[in-house]
Chains A and B, each alone.
Chain A
Amino acid sequence: MDLSTINPALLVASLMVAATPILLAAIGELVVERSGVLNLGVEGMMITGAVCGFIAAVWTQNPWVGFVGAALGGAVLALLFALLTQVLLSNQVATGLALTLFGLGLSALLGQGYIGIRAPTLPRVDLGPLTDLPVVGRILFGQDPMVYLSLLIVAGVWAFLKFSRAGLVLRAVGENHGAAHALGYNVRIVRTCAIAFGGACAGLGGGYLSLVRVPQWTEGMTAGAGWIALAIVVFASWKPWRLLLGAYLFGGVTVLQLNLQAGGLAVPVEYLSMSPYLVTILVLVVMSAGRAPGSLGRTFHASS
């Protein structure tokens, strides 16, 4: 056993890469849940984003177009969810699960001709001397642009929810849709926008998997990342900065256990892998203040 070979700076740097897809998906879901909607279809939207992004990137040979395609793919699927739950008032839990099933099938079908192809990928940022700084250089100045973008999105969502009027409306709709409606806000439109944003973020997360982290297209490549994103939202008790912490914690456990193994330490992998979920439950119990949005998961119908 030789743990001295684990370089903490590299560990943190790769932890950030590992956490970015789930961070992106989770920040989108956070907005959705804050608006009072529970969309369990994150996995389906992520994988659709992954394949759409990959296809777009291969066609244009431009990773940025790929990410746009990924966001669009995720958003379009999310709008399907919005149509069902907001217009046709179907149950959110069941619709979300159906969305995952649908997304997995759709992505596999779309991606059939794209297996084993290499897509253009994003190079890491290189700021010369800054990136070469010991320890912090690699972590702060040597990531790929999407890592920074994901952090920007988190900051943006935080500011939006906390300071903007639209953010206030969104939270009001999530806390008590009846009251929000009575105040004259259109619950359905607010929620549809939130759902579309959530889908776009999930799509970006999927795109990050197929274009940067893995980077290639394979069927079922999200392998449960969407479900982890759902867990992180809960872990964060619906607060953006805690979400960042949660994503890095969940991503960190994976990276850490692999690094410990590579360092020659026998790790009880299964028990370590279940620990973030147990921590999440603990967080739920302890932080009774950070309770779920009041109307989460309930169907809204305004009779007039």
Chain B
Amino acid sequence: MKLKHLLAGAAMMFAGAAGAQDDPFKVGFVYVGPIGDGGWTYEHNEARLAVEEEFGDSVETVYQESVPEGPDAVRVMQQMALNGADMIFTTSFGYMDQTVEVAEQFPDVLFEHATGYKRADNVSTYSARFYEGRAVQGHIAGQLTESNIVGYIGSFPIPEVIRGINSAYLHAKEVNPEVEFRIVWVYTWFDPAQEAEAARALIDQGADVILQHTDSTAPQAAAAEQEGVYTFGQASDMAEFKPAPRVSSIIDNWAPYYIERVQAAMDGTWESQDYWGGIDSGMVEIGEITDAVPAEVRESALALKESMGSGEYHPFTGPINRQDGSVWLEEGETADDETLLGMNFYVEGIEGDIPQ
């Protein structure tokens, strides 16, 4: 493959040029949605802006939004690399194979792939322990609900989402043994109309707290129509629905990680790694818990958050049984990351089946 060498050669030439003193360090970002989605991509872009803010003129950033997961992503990454990017963040799971492929062609460009599991010498992966935030949400939801029915809008039945459901359920159950989860799969990350409809369906069936693992604020808006229905922001703070229905949120704060990694790359200390940041690292933030939540619940929720942040409590601490009643974790045992990463079962008490 002679062209491959040519590409690599061109990249090296450029990397060399970029390494010259005056040239800023160039960082590329590939986004799966529009910046205006108000959720997932919005937060990645906020972190990009934070990188610009932090490093000023010494770093230049470029981005491309709404890049489909597939051959188009390969091309976008290659273009960024050819145009002198020293480091590229690919911010969706669906870019996994493409990131690895382009990384092979450009051994001198550093890649950071969000939520994936394939790595190489110049490909790191990173993700956030959203399930820690889910624990806080479950804790609040279990106590807010009057009907004892909590609705949950799932995107796709993948480990990340299932993990969140389990974590939220366990901590809701802990404070409210009567609680029951109703789960709706919408098979999309972002479709405001569908998400609003899902929220309404759940509300119609008696749910008065809605958790969501989709990215738009439509469920908030749908919940705002009804008295006494509460929601949580997802990926982004969704602060425009404060103080109710949005009573708290999980915020993906990628900024500290991005700044740290860009710094490492500039210093030459960057190494391939698999990073899974939680509350402790600031990657998972809990948005303001509003006054709609009783004071003592807020206190205990914050205490729960602290205990996870300090590392003294793991949200999946035994005894926990699987849905079929078999033992998953013994008393005092905590879940290992491998099981969590591939989680494909509900814990005991959740009704219904995971669609296959």
A interface residues with partner B (beta carbon < 8 Å):
1, 5-7, 10-11, 14, 17-18, 21, 108, 111-112, 115-118, 209, 213-216, 218-223, 225, 254-255, 258-259, 261-264, 266, 269-270
Contacts and interface: CB of A to CB of B under 8 A. Distances in A.
Size bracket, chain B contacts: 35 or more
Given A116-B38, A258-B184, A269-B187, A214 B206 contact: no
B348 interface: no
Contacts of B240: 116-118
13 contacts: A108-B36, A115-B38, A118-B221, A209-B192, A214-B216, A214-B218, A214-B221, A214-B222, A219-B36, A223-B188, A258-B198, A259-B205, A261-B201
A255 B201 contact: yes
Contacts of B190: 218
Contact of A218 (B38, B182, B205): B38
A10 B204 contact: yes
B129 interface: no
B28 interface: no
A108 B192 CA distance: 15
A221 B36 contact: no
Contacts of B217: 116, 216
A219 B204 contact: no
Interface string B186-227: 111011111011101110111100000000111001100000
Q: Which 3 pairs between the two chains have the least Cβ-Cβ distance?
A: A258-B201, A115-B36, A10-B204
A116 to B, nearest CB: 5
B352 A266 contact: yes
B36 A262 contact: no
B194 A218 contact: no
A7 to B, nearest CB: 6
B204 A108 contact: no
Interface SS majority for chain B: mixed
A262 B187 contact: no
Nearest to A258: B201
B185 interface: yes
A259 B188 CA distance: 17
B245 interface: no
Given A6-B205, A215-B221, A111 B192 contact: no
B221 A216 contact: yes
A219 B34 contact: yes
B22 interface: no
Contacts of B352: 1, 264, 266
Most chain B CB within 10 A, of A6, A218, A222, A264, is at A218
Given A214-B218, A219-B36, A220-B34, A262 B193 contact: no
B153 to A, nearest CB: 9
B291 interface: no
B123 interface: no
B72 interface: no
A220 B206 CA distance: 30
Contacts of B151: 262
B183 interface: yes
A254 B198 CA distance: 9
